[in-house]
A = this chain, B = another copy of it.
Amino acid sequence: MKKVVKFGGSSLASAKQFKKVGDIIRADKSRRYVVPSAPGKRNKNDTKVTDMLYACYEAASTGASYGKLLSAIKERYEQIIDGLELNLNLDYEFKTIEENFIAKKGSDYAASRGEYLNGIIMSHYLGYEFIDAAEVIFFDENGTFLSEKTNEELSERLAHTERAVIPGFYGSNPDGTIHTFSRGGSDITGSIVARAIHADLYENWTDVSGFLVTDPRIVENPVPIETITYKELRELAYMGASVLHEDAIFPVRREGIPINIRNTNKPEDPGTLIVENTCRKPKYTITGIAGKTGFCSVTIEKAMMNSEIGFGRKVLGVFEDCGISFEHMPSGIDTMTIFVHQSEFEQHEQFVISNIHRAVQPDSIELESDLALIAVVGRGMKSTRGTAGRIFSALAHARINVKMIDQGSSELNIIIGVKNADFEAAVKAIYDIFITAEL
C-alpha cells in the first residue's frame, strides 16, 4: 500500500499544524510520499508566505529595501522550527535566497521558496528524505509541463526512495531555473507523484472535510460529498464550484488512482473520495449543485425553422464569428434560445442581432439578460425516476420562474436557467428538496 499525501498551506501554517500533520502521517505507514505547500494563513488577517515572498522579491529585484520583509519570512519558518523543537538552521538557505533575489532569478523562483523551505523542515521533522522538486519535475522552454519526462525520472528516483518529502508547486526549466505551476499548483505536484509511484491513493489534506454539496455562501453548512466521480467533479467545477486545481486531476485519473480530500483539523472525518467510477450508491440522489450568474439569452423565432436544414448551424456561426462561445441551446418548435455569457455578448450585441437577421431571416429575436444557470449534477439521477419532477416542484414552491431547462441523454446533469435575482433561492430550494429532505 503506497499513499501520496499532500498538505495545503493552512495545514502547515504553524508548528501546531505541523504536529497535526506529523500525527496523520505517522498514523499510517503507507503515507510514504509527502508533498507540502508553503505556510498559509494562521488566522483571517495573516499573510500567506507565498505572498510575502512575491512582495520581498519585487522589492529586492527593483533595488527597494527588502530586509524587513525577508526577516519576517524567516521568522515564520523559525517559529515552526522552534515549535517542533528541531535542530535545524535555515541561515544558509536564506543567504542563498537573498543573493538570488538580488540577482533577479525570477518571481517563480521567489514564490517556490515557500514550498522548498517547508519541504526541508518537513523532511527533518519526519525523518524522510528531501527531494528538491527542481530535480524531478520538468518544464520545456515554453513553460509547458513535460509529463512523460517527469514521470520517467520521478519513477526512477522514487523507486529507490522508501519515504520522501517533495515540495509542491514548482519544477525546473531546461536551463535549470525554477518554473511554477499556477497558484494552487501543489495539488498538481501531489498528483504527479502519485502517478509516478502508482499510488493506491492520493490524499489531499486541507482545512475542509471534503467537497460540499453546494456553496456554503449560499446554503449554511452544506453536507460534504462522500464520493464523487471525476466527471461530476469536472461538471461542478465548470459551473463555478471551487474544487481541486483542474490540472491536478489528469495525472491520477489516467492511472485510475482515487483522490481523497481530507481535513487536517478533523482527521477522523472520511472526507470526499474522488473516483473514476463507482457502484457505491450515492447517499443522496444528487451529488452537487453549482451555478453561475451573468448569462443572457437570445431567443430566435421563425415559423418552420425545424425543417430548415442548416438553420442552427448558421445561427451558431454568427456567434462564432464574434468569438462568443455559447453555453446551451434549448429549442422548442419554431424557436431556439442561445445562452451566452453576458460579458462576452454585450459588446457584440447589435452585431450579432443584425447578422442573425441576415443569416436566417427570423420572424423575431428577443433578448433577456441577467440570467443564472444552475447545474444539478449526480450519477444517482440516472437510476432515480422523478428527479426532474422534484427539482421543478421545489422551484415552483419557492415561487421561482424557470426560464430554461436542458437535459440531454447523459442524464448526469440537469441545467436550469433562472433570473439572477432568483439564483440563491433556487440553489437553496434544490438543496433542501434533495439534501435536507433526505437527511
Contact = CB atoms under 8 A, between A and B. Distances in A.
A328 interface: yes
Given A308-B325, A333-B239, A399 B411 contact: no
Given A307-B325, A312-B316, A393-B393, A331 B386 contact: no
A386 B316 CA distance: 31
A281 interface: no
17 contacts: A297-B408, A299-B410, A307-B325, A313-B313, A313-B319, A316-B316, A329-B331, A330-B408, A331-B406, A332-B412, A337-B410, A385-B395, A386-B397, A389-B391, A389-B393, A404-B407, A405-B407
Copies in the complex: 2
A368 interface: yes
A387 to B, nearest CB: 8
A317 interface: yes
A309 interface: yes
A219 to B, nearest CB: 21
Contacts of A333: 234-235, 238-239, 375, 377, 413, 415
A409 B299 contact: yes
Interface string A314-354: 00110110011111111111111100000000000000000
B330 A330 contact: yes
At the interface, is chain A mostly helix, strand, loop or mixed?
mixed
Nearest to A335: B410
Interface residues of A, number: 70
Contacts of A401: 385
Given A368-B409, A395-B389, A407-B402, A309 B332 contact: no
A388 interface: yes
Contacts of A403: 409, 411
B406 A406 contact: yes
Interface of A: 231, 234-235, 238-239, 297, 299, 301, 303, 306-310, 312-313, 316-317, 319-320, 323-337, 366, 368, 375, 377, 385-397, 399-415, 417
Given A329-B331, A389-B391, 9 more contacts: A307-B325, A312-B329, A329-B329, A330-B406, A333-B377, A333-B415, A388-B405, A403-B411, A406-B407
